[in-house]
Structure formats: C-alpha cells, structure tokens
Chain A
C-alpha cells in the first residue's frame, strides 16, 4: 500500500467494446454483444487492483482492451495523464510499459523458441542489442527462480506448468514495464504451485515497483493479492472499493451473492443456502435497467426501468445499486446523500 502520488498511474474512462455476433440481412448491422459497457477505473502507483466476476462479465475483455490486444469501440486510456495513442504517448511506448500474463502458459510461448530466446525477443524488437537482451533474459530467469544454466536452452514442452508460468512472468518483465496485467495467471496451476507463483509475484512487485491488475475467478486469491477490488457483472462495474470494504461490507447485492458463494471450509457449518439462483443471463440479450435485477432479491420496479449509476457509498467505495443510491426511488434507498 504505497500510494505515493495523487495522480493515478493508469486511468480507464468509459471503456466500451461491442462484438457483432452476426451481420444481418443484406449486410445491415445484426445483434451485438456489449462485452464491456462503459467501464471506468483508475490504477494507482504500487497497488493491485483485483477484478472479479463470473464468466461473460467482461473482465478478460477489459484486460485485453487495456493491453490494446483489441480495439475499444469507445473510451480512452491514460497513462500518467497522457492519452494512449496520442502523439504524447504513441502505442508502442505504452505497450512497453504495460505487459500481460495469460492463463494458458503453454499457448503463450512459441514452442520452437528456447525460453531464453522467448524472454529476449521483446527487448530486441524494442531496439536492445541481442547480447544485452540475452543478458537481461538470464538475469530474469534467475530472478523468477529458474537457474539460467539449467533452463535457458529448454523449450516450453520440457517444463512444468508452474515453470512455464515463471517464464511468462520473466518475459513480461523483460521490457521493464510499470504495469502487469495478470489474467487468471495462476488459475491453471495446482494449489501447491499456485502459492509459490503468487509469492513470486509479490516479491517482484516490491522489487521492480510494479502495479498489478489481477483478474481471477478465485475470490480468495483476489482477496489475498489486492489493494482494491472491482466487481463486474455483464459488462458493467457493479462495485469498486478497498478490498476489505468489498469483502466484508459490500453494498451491491451481486457482490454479497458472490461472497456468499465462497465455500465454507467449516465441517460443522457447511453452506446451507445458495445466495442466488440461476445462471448469469446471456450477454447477447442482457436484462434492462440494472442488469442484475433478474437474479436480485432486492429488485423493485425501478431496477428494471433504469440502470443505476455508480454511487459513492464510502471512502473510495462505490456501488451501482438503486438500493444504495439516494433518491433512486428504491424503497431501501438512503434518505439523503451519505
């Protein structure tokens, strides 16, 4: 928790991504999936922002948009106040500062390249001489716990899943980024190996002064890793706030349902009731108003009529729920502004 400056390191404003699913008759526009629908957040220097939500909520699409792997339909990204893609900050120099580690450690690596070449590849593309890049690759291998003499010449298929994910982390660090986006990066690993990689990430973050965007479906891991947490539901931000405010004092019924789905771990008190029923709705045809109203126990007519704005409910804590917004017309709405 070393928030050194007031200006956020990364700002994401009104990010939107529509995927057309089929073109209509005679090339007229057909249905679209609003995968990410007006998402805004900040990432502060040195923090870890966790992103949680169920499949189809748009968390991975958000990561890919921030990484510019796909073009946003609308919205802007600013790094240290400079707009990405503007003359102030060309895409190429932005991409050297933001790197990503994916879930599939094998698909992320070129199977025909030795791990040393894979790590050195990025820096050489960015104009660093080959010998310097190789030197950097070896130092990083050592840093992620793989002895360069034993591992430098190996190919991805000769490594275990945990070792390959260490390679992917080393490769992401080779360009000396400021921000690492970790999209389900430890989800495919066994629990005993996952803990090792999480500890490594914490060490690297402190050592290199990194900031993380940490995306996972595993709520416990997110709680362990994150300074703040963003909860997404069907393409929108449901709630955002400091980790403990989200986990212990959530103000959005969806967040409460997510937290209520964490397995009990107490043999004497197993979970007695599921917090919500049914599956998340199809993102192709999302519910009107608040997208959660079809599964929400607090739903009232206002919820299906209008989409609730993100409303500040506490220090750095905001929720998009009519029941938490003064004057929304919901019977539980607070009388006046908090």
Chain B
C-alpha cells in the first residue's frame, strides 16, 4: 500500500523502493520517409510492488515506452535516447546476452495476443520448462513441478493435463492464463503488461484482471499496465499516467486522476464514457478533431489544436509538468 505521508517528486512512487526508472525517454522511428517521434520525453518511476497504468489512445506512445524497457525496437530503424534503469542498472548499456538474462528473470512481459508469445509447435508445459531451465540451474523434473504449480496458480482447470496441450487446443482465456504462467515462471519482480485483456470478451476480461490483481498482491509484483481503457486502469492500478502524442500529460493516483482530472485531454476522455442510459436528445460529450500526426507535431502543446481551452501561448512551447496536488502532475499551462 502507498504511504501517502512521504513527499516525493514527480511521477515517483511514494514509499516504494524504485525498481524501474525511466528518465527523459525519447524514441524516434527512422525507417519511414519522415522520422516519427513516438515517445518524447517520458519520465516514469515504478516502485517495488506498485502498479502503474499507462493510459492512452493509439499512437500515444504507451506501447512504445513499454517495449523500450525490454529493448524490443529494431535498432536500425529506431533511435532511443534517455535512461532506463531496472533495479539501478542502465538497460541501454547491456550487451545482448546480459539483456537476455534480464528478460524473463527480472522483467517479464505479457501481450494482447498470446499466440505471438506461445510457440505453436511445442506444448505449453514444455515452453515453461524451457524458460525455467534457461534461467535457473534446476532439473527438468523440478521445472515441470514448478510449471504445474504455476498452472494451478493461474487457475487453469485440470492443470497437469493442460501442461501437455498445444496452444491451439486452448480457449482464448486459457491461453491468456498460460501466457501469464509463462511470464511468471522465473519469478520476475517487474511485469510489463501490454493490453493483455483488450481482445477478450467482457466476462473473461474481468476474470483475467482479477487474477492479475491477485497475483500482483501475492507475489509483490511491480506492474506497468498499458491500456486504452480507463475502466481497466481503475480495476488494476494505484497510479495512472495519461499519455498523448508521446508525452505523459497527467499523472497521479487513480483516485485523484479519476475524481479530479486536470488536463483537458483527461477530462475529455473521462467524459466520453460511463454515462449509462441516454436521455433522448442527449449527445455524448466528445473531443473534437483527431489525434495528431507524429511526424508533424506542433511546436507547443500537442493537444492544443483539439483543446477547447487553448490560448495563443499554448502553441509556443511544450508545457512542463506542474504540480496540482499532492502527487498529481499535469502538463498544461492553465492548470495549477
């Protein structure tokens, strides 16, 4: 739980030892005709056992930020600047083999589509055993016992039989559970979750979210949870960082950001949902315009062209984060 008495700087976890620190991260993709600045100065600190939701729409840079942590961008087509430290070590200075040791052992990742992670030609059990043996000096029998334990933990029915199943023999929800088991096989301290429930049906999504919440508490995992759905963020996270056009525009505890959003974009996003039934003649509040072209961003606040509160000054320079409450920071010159 958060110790709210500690006074801390922007986007850092109160009372937690930091396990992940991202400092002024910039990611530029150079493969196309024009360079695309997908992430533009992201700062984020994740405490041990803390859950942060990175919330944003397509193109906001939330997944790109997440993938940078594990070095998943093609080096020839991307330029990554800034610092990423995992438990104090600068991951951008790691050799490929050091990186391979880090992945799965200290930091693990789960995705929206489990079929991209699970190899279709091996049984799921074999893949978990393989992962454990890659990182730890244990026998295959021990590794298999642990795989079974993991399957029980993620509540796969008839776990020992399912260990010998191939991914295609499982239903969507079960594959998601198997992917989570695989990610947790080597007891990582940090889990990166990239929209793991987005493709699931509503009744299955809530089961997986509750499972992740339970595992996080039992294992003391720190999680960065990327999502486009505020509802998902509210179910799993303690803090939210809202991204727009490659920048974090608002961050704070879930409670503060949901109850008293301060950035016009966050306010707009929140008003587009949670309305219940429609009274005839009522319309949904909406944000005008469309998300910006990342290869042609305006010099000032990237949201200004869609913002109903925009003034001339918004176009001059990108706003710096301002403190608007205990632990709530907003990049808007009119906030605070």
Contacts and interface: CB of A to CB of B under 8 A. Distances in A.
Contacts of A279: 171-174, 201, 204
Nearest to B208: A274
B285 interface: yes
Contacts of A196: 286-288
Contact of B202 (A244, A258, A277): A258
Contact of B277 (A223, A263, A264): A223
A224 B288 CA distance: 19
Contact of A270 (B57, B201, B234, B272): B234
A194 B272 contact: yes
A243 B210 contact: no
A225 interface: yes
A288 interface: no
Given A190-B228, A196-B287, 8 more contacts: A160-B290, A192-B286, A199-B283, A223-B278, A264-B234, A270-B235, A274-B203, A280-B201
A54 B280 CA distance: 28
A302 interface: no
A271 interface: yes
B258 A54 contact: no
Interface in A255-312: 257-258, 260-268, 270-271, 273-280, 282
A263 B157 CA distance: 25
Given A191-B273, A261-B203, A266 B234 contact: yes
Contacts of A266: 234
Interface of A: 1, 54-55, 160, 162-163, 190-196, 198-199, 202, 217, 219-220, 223-225, 243-244, 247, 257-258, 260-268, 270-271, 273-280, 282
28 contacts: A163-B290, A190-B57, A190-B291, A191-B57, A192-B286, A193-B291, A194-B272, A199-B283, A223-B276, A224-B275, A224-B277, A224-B278, A260-B206, A261-B203, A261-B205, A263-B206, A264-B235, A265-B258, A265-B273, A265-B274, A267-B259, A268-B255, A270-B213, A270-B234, A271-B235, A279-B171, A279-B201, A279-B204
Given A191-B272, A195-B285, A196-B288, A257 B232 contact: no
Contacts of B258: 265, 267
B254 interface: yes
B229 interface: yes
Interface string B265-303: 000110011111110100111111011000000000000
Contacts of A247: 276-277
A275 B203 contact: yes
A270 B230 CA distance: 12
Interface in B77-134: none
B207 interface: yes
Given A244-B277, A273-B210, A217 B201 contact: yes
B157 to A, nearest CB: 8
B58 interface: yes
A193 B286 CA distance: 7
Contacts, number: 125
B231 A265 contact: yes
Contacts of B278: 223-225
A273 B207 CA distance: 8
Which 7 pairs from chain A and chain B are nearest by CB?
A263-B231, A195-B286, A54-B201, A192-B287, A190-B57, A261-B202, A279-B171
A191 B270 CA distance: 10
A167 to B, nearest CB: 14
A198 B285 CA distance: 10
B278 to A, nearest CB: 5
Nearest to A199: B283
A264 B230 CA distance: 10
Contact of A1 (B206, B276, B280, B288): B280
A190 B58 contact: yes
Contacts of A224: 275-278, 284
Given A195-B286, A195-B287, A267 B254 contact: yes
A277 B202 CA distance: 11
Given A194-B272, A273-B210, A54 B284 contact: no
Contacts of A198: 284
A276 B202 CA distance: 11
A54 B276 CA distance: 20
A260 B202 CA distance: 9
A193 B59 CA distance: 13
A319 to B, nearest CB: 18
Nearest to B265: A192
A199 B282 CA distance: 9
B284 A195 contact: yes
A55 B171 CA distance: 12
B280 to A, nearest CB: 6
Given A195-B285, A278-B173, A261 B57 contact: no
B210 A257 contact: no
A16 B272 CA distance: 37
Interface centre among A192, A223, A243, A244 (most CB of B within 10 A): A192
A217 B207 contact: no
Nearest to B173: A279
